[in-house]
Structure 1
Amino acid sequence: MSVNSCALVMNQTPSVCTDEMTFVYRPNYQSLYISLELIIAVLAVIGNLLVCLVITRTKKLRTVTNYFLLSLAVADILVGLVAIPCAVLTDLGRPHHNLPLCLLMLSVLMVLTQSSILSLLAVAAERYMAILLPFQYQRLMSHRVACLALLLTWSLAVLSGCVPFIDWQKQPENSVFCTFACVIDMSFMVYSNFFCFLLLPLIAMFVIYARIFLIIRGQVRRMCQARTRTISSGSDEGIMDTPDQRPSIDAIFTVTNPSDPHKVIKALRSRRKMQKANSLFLLLFLFAVCWIPIHVINCIAFFCPTCDVPMSLTLVAILLSHANSAVNPLLYAYRMRSFRRALIAMWRAVWSCKHN
Structure 2
Amino acid sequence: MEPLTNLTTCINNVSAASRTQMLSFVLGNFAALTVCRNLLVIFSIIYFRQLHTPTNYLVLSLAVADLLVGVVILPFSIVLFVSPCWDLQDVCLLRSVFDYALCSCSILNLCLISIDRYYAVCHPLMYRTKMNASFTAILILIIWIVSISCGIVMARSGQKNNSRCAFVFGLSLGSITAVTAFYIPAIIMITLYLKIFHVARKQAQSIHSMHTSEAVNKMERKATRTLVKVMGVFLLCWTPFALCITFLPLNNFNVPLAAMEVFKWFGWSNSMLNPFIYAYFYSWFRCAFRIILSGKIFKGKYTNARLY
TM-score, with structure 1 as normaliser: 0.75
The one-letter amino acid of 1:281's match is V
CA contact (8 A) 1:300 1:307 kept: no
CA contact (8 A) 1:95 1:101 kept: no
The one-letter amino acid of 1:298's match is I
Gaps of 5+ in 2: 301-308
CA contact (8 A) 2:291 2:297 kept: no
Q: Distance in 1 between matches of 2:22 and 2:249?
A: 28
Does residue 93 of the first structure (1) align with residue 77 of the second (2)?
no
Q: Please, which of 134, 141, 151 is the counterpart of residue 151 of structure 1?
A: 141
Partner of 2:287, secondary structure, is helix
Q: Distance in 1 between matches of 2:53 and 2:21?
A: 42
CA contact (8 A) 1:18 1:176 kept: no
Using the TM superposition, give the Cα deviation of residue 161 of structure 1 relative to its aligned residue in structure 2, in angstroms.
0.3
Identity %: 24
Distance 1:111 1:306, change over 3 A: closer
Using the TM superposition, give the Cα deviation of residue 80 of structure 1 relative to its aligned residue in structure 2, in angstroms.
1.3
Q: CA RMSD in A?
A: 2.6
Q: Distance in 2 between matches of 1:34 and 1:117?
A: 26
Larger gyration radius, structure 1 or structure 2: 1
Cα deviations by residue, 1:176-211 (Å, 9 ceiling, x for unpaired): 211145xx33121x2221122211111111111111
Tell me the equivalent position of 1:279.
226
Distance 1:101 1:265, change over 3 A: same
The one-letter amino acid of 1:186's match is L
Does residue 61 of the first structure (1) align with residue 51 of the second (2)?
yes
Distance 1:303 1:346, change over 3 A: same
Tell me the equivalent position of 2:251.
304
> How many correspondences in the alignment?
296
Does residue 187 of the first structure (1) align with residue 133 of the second (2)?
no
Tell me the equivalent position of 2:69.
79
Cα deviations by residue, 1:124-173 (Å, 9 ceiling, x for unpaired): 111111111111212211100000011011001101100145547x742x
CA contact (8 A) 2:175 2:245 kept: no
Does residue 328 of the first structure (1) align with residue 274 of the second (2)?
yes
Cα deviations by residue, 1:107-138 (Å, 9 ceiling, x for unpaired): 11111101101101110111111111111212
Using the TM superposition, give the Cα deviation of residue 348 of structure 1 relative to its aligned residue in structure 2, in angstroms.
4.4
Does residue 267 of the first structure (1) align with residue 214 of the second (2)?
yes
Distance 1:18 1:99, change over 3 A: farther
Q: Distance in 2 between matches of 1:352 and 1:105?
A: 37
Tell me the equivalent position of 2:10.
22
Distance 1:46 1:78, change over 3 A: same
Q: Please, which of 132, 136, 150 is the counterpart of residue 142 of structure 1?
A: 132
Q: Distance in 2 between matches of 1:332 and 1:38?
A: 23
1:247-262 pair list within 5 angstroms? none
Q: Distance in 2 between matches of 1:159 and 1:308?
A: 28
Using the TM superposition, give the Cα deviation of residue 339 of structure 1 relative to its aligned residue in structure 2, in angstroms.
1.0
TM-score, with structure 2 as normaliser: 0.86
Q: Distance in 2 between matches of 1:162 and 1:18?
A: 28
Cα deviations by residue, 1:277-321 (Å, 9 ceiling, x for unpaired): 01111111111111111233334433213756583x544433322
Partner of 1:93, secondary structure, is coil
CA contact (8 A) 2:97 2:151 kept: yes
Tell me the equivalent position of 1:207.
191
Cα deviations by residue, 1:10-29 (Å, 9 ceiling, x for unpaired): xxxx9799644324545566
Tell me the equivalent position of 2:303.
none
The one-letter amino acid of 1:304's match is N
Cα deviations by residue, 1:191-245 (Å, 9 ceiling, x for unpaired): 2211222111111111111111111011112234xx3xxxxxxxxxxxxxxxxxx
The one-letter amino acid of 1:318's match is K
Using the TM superposition, give the Cα deviation of residue 344 of structure 1 relative to its aligned residue in structure 2, in angstroms.
2.0
Q: Distance in 2 between matches of 1:122 and 1:193?
A: 19
Partner of 1:179, secondary structure, is coil
Q: Please, which of 163, 185, 190 is the counterpart of residue 176 of structure 1?
A: 163
Partner of 1:145, secondary structure, is helix
Q: Distance in 2 between matches of 1:16 and 1:165?
A: 28
Gaps of 5+ in 1: 1-13, 228-262
